[in-house]
Amino acid sequence: MSAAPTAEIRLNLRLLPILVGALLLLQLVWPFGGWRLLLAGLGGTWLVAYLWARSLAHSLRLVREMRFGWAQVGDTLEERFTLINHSWLPALWVEIVDHSTLPGYTASRGIGASGKQENRWQTRGTCSRRGIFMLGPTTLRCGDPFGIYTVCLRDPASATLTVMPPVVPLPSIEVAPGSYAGDGHPRPATYDRTVNTGGIREYRPGDSPRWIHWPSSAHHGSLMVRLFDGAPVSDWWIMLDLHADVQAGQGQSSTEEHGVILAASLADRGLRLGRSVGMIAYGKELAWLPAQPGDLQRLRILRALAQISAGRHPLADLIERARPALGRGPSLVIITPDTSGRWVTALLALLRGNAVPTVLLLEPSSFGGSGNMQATAALLAKQGIPHSIITRELLDRPEMRPGQQGTWKWRTLASGRVIPIQQPGDTGWRPLR
């Protein structure tokens, strides 16, 4: 249950009590009709102002409601406000001060309310930045018509709004399949037991002796090994480099933000393909989500990505820490703007664990930074590690912009009738608590 609003009545004209006291003293010491007239005027005004302010303090209330408990970058936020005046006395002016932390959004405004009246209005804004923000609390300021008192009503009702990173289509990015035999492609060397045989081939150094097919070897006069198909699909692990020293750009046009968008979009793609997807990122805090399938995992990953920020942990240390937990055969997607290449040595150690990496190199120069990403790409190519160079333009195209929640779209038929072709999925109002 939310806390009740608190009210404070402040006297603006501090000279007024002194004047009334002086007039009262003069009337007692030196009775005069003029003193009585001034005393009645000032004293009466003071009394009326106080009663008016006290009435508003007890009778004025604000109800604040919102749609949607979460959003993605680009989505529309909508709130509804209801100002209720239970008093017979009007609130001639009410200043509403919004203390929300959502960037670029404010519900502050000036309004009034007649006696025994309700005023209702709505506000809309765009969620421009990922993160966890507060809607509310709210402060109401009003007063008597003479300006003698100011009433300050503090409404503590608030709500947490999680703005998740956008999920965008990435048609040009392919993730190398994991090393499970039969994960879409026959492998020259397989270490995982499967149930279906996909053929045979000649033995190569490094193949397991367990998979030698002796009848075929006798028939061909040389060692032959079985190829397997139909194994379970491999897990996807997404590793996001958040080392502050290697980031480039500012705000939304930074490698940090684009790396988060890539991670969110790849996680969404993997989960839609039926994969179990995990995520590892180490910024100011460690985000470690074991690989799991399903929509709930998508929500976990997006919530984690909404909160992370750059920290002091290099990618090489993150790879070393993750190596024991990845298991055998996963598809590992590494997203990094680090051009130093020092982390490649740690990555090669993962190959011995049968992990199959795909590296997405965020080109720092396209974000206003410096560094030779071509040299890092050449180093990866020499080791046979799939990689792609990602520039800022990939995610800055207009068709990559999300923002569907809270948005209505309409179509006019030939008959002149207007029908909605897109509407918010949840249009219910929820009061702030």
Res. 426 pLDDT band, cuts 50 70 90: low
Calpha distance 182→177 (Å, rounded): 10
Amino acid at 167: V
Least confident of 79-83, 88-92, 172-176, 404-408: 404-408
Q: Looking up tokens 């958040």, which residue turns up?
A: 242
Res. 326 pLDDT band, cuts 50 70 90: confident
Least confident of 17-31, 196-210, 305-319, 386-400: 196-210
In eight-state DSSP terms, residue 400 is G
Rounded CA Rg of the chain:
33
Calpha distance 339→370 (Å, rounded): 9
Q: Which ranges of 251-403 would DSSP assign to H, the alpha helix? A: 255-272, 295-307, 315-322, 343-351, 373-382
Residue 17 has pLDDT above 90, yes or no: no
- In terms of Cα–Cα distance, which of 215, 218, 185, 217 is closest to 201? 217
Res. 358 pLDDT band, cuts 50 70 90: very high
CA dist 387 → 243, 357, 360, 379, 384 (Å): 20, 8, 6, 10, 9
Calpha distance 191→355 (Å, rounded): 12
What is the average pLDDT across 259-280?
Answer: 92
Calpha distance 87→52 (Å, rounded): 9
DSSP 3-state assignment of 328? coil
Calpha distance 422→306 (Å, rounded): 26
Question: Domains along the chain?
Answer: 6-23+44-164 (2.60.40.10), 196-229 (no CATH), 236-400 (3.40.50.410)
Least confident of 202-216, 260-274, 291-305: 202-216
pTM: 0.73
Which is more confident, 337 or 408?
Answer: 337
Read off φ and ψ for residue 126, nearest 5 degrees: -110, 135
In eight-state DSSP terms, residue 353 is T
Token pair in block for residue 299: 């929500």
In eight-state DSSP terms, residue 7 is E
pLDDT at 21: 85
What is the average pLDDT value for the chain, to the nearest integer?
A: 82
What is the average pLDDT across 37-61?
Answer: 92
Whether 291 contacts 236, CB under 8 Å: yes
236-240 and 253-254 beta bridge pairing:
unpaired
Cα torsion 419, 422, 426, 431: sign: negative
Reported as a single tens digit per residue, the pLDDT across 78-89 is: 899 999 999 999
Of the chain, the end-to-end C-alpha distance in Å amounts to 7
Give the distance between the most distant pair of CA atoms in the chain.
134
Which is more confident, 419 or 11?
Answer: 11
Residue 410 has pLDDT above 80, yes or no: no
Calpha distance 174→169 (Å, rounded): 12
Residue 115 has pLDDT above 70, yes or no: yes
DSSP 3-state assignment of 278? strand
pLDDT at 231: 43
Q: What is the dihedral of CA 396, 398, 399, 400, to 10 degrees?
A: 30
Residue 418 has pLDDT above 60, yes or no: no
Least confident of 137-151, 345-359, 375-389: 345-359
Name the region of 31 (left: φ>0; alpha: ψ -120 to 50; beta: rest): beta
Whether 86 contacts 63, CB under 8 Å: no
* Range 112-131 burial, b when 16+ CB lie within 10 A, else e: ebeeeeebeeebebbbbbbb
Amino acid at 387: H
Residue 114 has pLDDT above 70, yes or no: yes
Residue 383 has pLDDT above 90, yes or no: no
